[in-house]
Chains A and B, each alone.
Chain A
Amino acid sequence: MTTEVQPRQRSTEGEVYDLGYQRFEGERSGRPQAIRAIWRDSIRASLGLGRSLSSKLLPLGLIVLVLLPAVFVVVIAGFVSSFGGDVDELELDGLSNREYYEFALIPLILYASMIGPEMFCPDRRSNVLVLYFTRPLTPMNYVVARWLGFFTVSTVILWLPQLLIFLTRSMIADSPFDWVTDNLEILPQVALSGMVMAAMLTTVALAVSSFTDRRPYAAGAALGVLILFSIVGEILSELVSGSAGDYLGLIDMLQAVLNVNDWIFRDVQGDAPLANWIYVADVAAIVAIGWVVMWWRYRGAAG
């Protein structure tokens, strides 16, 4: 007697198993992971990512504004070069790294004022802070992570066009390698100056916006503080004669950071009436005051 072996039947339909509640057995990274998560969320918020189309338009528009001259330079240089023209006649040296930061300061002020409030205001408005602080975070961890996120984006926005111009200049040079090695010192200057500008504007915008949960009010107030202090500083330095006027002019935050920019690029011949270290100390003091304000505003936010 033989037994007929039946081919094994394979189900053509999948089966769904409800595994029920699964415990998490993996590693918990605690506070460092929490800070990284807020930092990433801040970068996304700074660029309008994960937000509505209208929320993306403003940050992207302002970023384009910062990049535009650099892109223009690249396109023209490429155009002239491809038709055998003399790129040197474009006088790209006239658009120095220092001057590019002077130009970029204006759109970056707008960017910091208008997008900076995205860091703090929505969290306050939706009362979500209590959920942050019932996790392994302190209020200062939160502030630091938010600040770092916005600072990262602001710095990259400032660096990007500078790098673009640097690369363009190197590529159109007769000997790109020699040009890069001859001008390598520019890179740390670009990096440092961009970070100083971004740090000051980030701190002022975030410190001002920590007073309200309304983004439009925060944007107006941040812009107002930056412009008002600039105007008042200018007027005081004109009205008060002598070194007292020069010192009163230090409340002009924008001029102070431009003076630091001059110093970093070693354009020491500028019109700055005070010693360079005083402007560095001024910017450092502005950043420190901003941090004290944020600490004060968030010190009791957990309870």
Chain B
Amino acid sequence: MPALLEAQQLKKHYGSVRALDGVSFAVESGITGLLGANGAGKSTALKLFLGLIGPTAGRALFEGVDVSEQPQARQRIGYMPEHDCLPRNMDAIEFLSYMGQLSGLPSHDARVRAADTLRHVGLEEERYRPLGDYSTGMKQRVKLAQALVHDPALVLLDEPTAGLDPMGRQQMLELVEHTGREFGISVVLSSHLMGDVERTCDRVIVLDAGAVSREGSVAGFTTETTLLAIQVTEGADDFLAELGRRGIESRIEGESIVVENVDDAGFDIIRDAIVSSGALLYSMAPRQHSLTELFRDDPALQSLSESDNA
């Protein structure tokens, strides 16, 4: 069975600019992050998979099909572009119904699914308002809804949290997770924000200057750590002092006390230190690295970390 998406030695050159330079990767079902700084080639890759532009060399396949040769395949793909793309004078229900029909749904089904999809993205009450009156967050939701209205097998999201405030970003990421995990629609999330990818994605493909620099499961990246994070609700100072007396090096990071390289004997010492210091233990768990931490030392990816912290 062919992969959901597959890039085979995919190249796209614009004159002397190499937007993609012979990349090969496969995307299976689930939520996959396409991570990279601006200009890394993410949007170009999405356009190639949608068949909107032709490759300089190589192939971009959806379920084994080159979409540029068979545009009919697009009725099973949804796409949410980064930029503003909504008509101001249409209301949301009319617009979504129209988009559903453009994807091949019969008129009645398109109307029903438009209402359902607006409910799923939390815009049921606003469905008769002109899109020109919507806030940025609402517009992003309508853009997501139009990508889902025809019940695609795969949805490609290009920077879905762009321009959103923290609350809007949180809500959008929840919707992306819902889409991938509860609706059963596979998602490719293109983003320059590591936090978005880390939070929502199962797998990540990191693009840098038109090439794949890293690829793998997010869990695989983020569990490679020897740190133990301990949180106590009372007696933190006494606990730290007790750890020092017992020869355990520790430091405070945020709300946690972090200990490195803990072996079995180390766990016993920490347990005893908690008891003897009288600290109230709240949690103790291996610390997961964030993608930001993992990529911090990679010069090519430092711009991502900065973006994430912004």
Contact = CB atoms under 8 A, between A and B. Distances in A.
Interface of A: 20-24, 26-31, 33-34, 36-38, 41, 50-52, 122-123, 126-128, 130-138, 302-303
B104 A136 contact: yes
B52 A133 contact: yes
B182 A26 contact: no
Interface in B75-97: 75, 77, 79, 81, 83-90, 94
B185 to A, nearest CB: 9
B58 interface: no
Interface of B: 47, 50, 52-53, 71-75, 77, 79, 81, 83-90, 94, 98-99, 101-107, 109, 113, 116, 120, 146, 150-151, 182-184
Given A128-B85, A136-B74, A303-B52, 12 more contacts: A21-B183, A24-B109, A29-B105, A30-B104, A34-B102, A36-B101, A50-B94, A131-B99, A134-B79, A136-B75, A136-B104, A302-B52
Contacts, number: 103
A22 B116 CA distance: 9
Contacts of B90: 50
A30 B85 contact: no
Nearest to A34: B102
B103 A136 contact: yes
A126 B83 CA distance: 10
A33 B71 contact: no
Contact of A21 (B72, B103, B182): B182
Contact of B72 (A24, A30, A52): A30
B88 A130 contact: no
A52 B113 CA distance: 26
A48 to B, nearest CB: 11
B74 A134 contact: yes
Contacts of A21: 116, 120, 182-184
Contacts of A26: 105-106, 109
Contacts of A51: 89
B71 A136 contact: yes
Given A24-B113, A51-B89, A33 B101 contact: yes
A134 B52 CA distance: 7
Contacts of B85: 126-128, 130-131
Contacts of A132: 102
Contacts of B106: 26-27, 29, 33
The 6 closest A-B pairs by CB, nearest first: A37-B101, A24-B151, A303-B53, A28-B104, A134-B79, A30-B104
Contacts of A133: 52
B182 A37 contact: no
A55 B84 CA distance: 24
A52 to B, nearest CB: 7
A123 B182 CA distance: 33
Given A29-B104, A131-B99, A136 B72 contact: yes
Contact of B150 (A24, A50, A126): A24
Nearest to B87: A126
A30 to B, nearest CB: 4
A277 B31 CA distance: 63
B71 A138 contact: yes
Contacts of A37: 98, 101-102, 107
Contacts of A137: 71, 102
A50 B130 CA distance: 11
A275 B16 CA distance: 55
22 contacts: A21-B183, A24-B150, A24-B151, A27-B106, A28-B104, A30-B72, A33-B104, A33-B106, A34-B101, A34-B102, A34-B103, A37-B107, A41-B98, A52-B89, A126-B87, A127-B84, A134-B50, A135-B74, A136-B72, A136-B73, A137-B102, A138-B71
Contacts of A31: 71-72, 104
A258 B170 CA distance: 63
Contact of B103 (A27, A127, A135, A302): A135
B13 to A, nearest CB: 14
Nearest to B99: A131
Contacts of B113: 24
A20 B73 CA distance: 26
Given A51-B89, A126-B85, A136-B74, A23 B151 contact: yes
Nearest to B110: A37
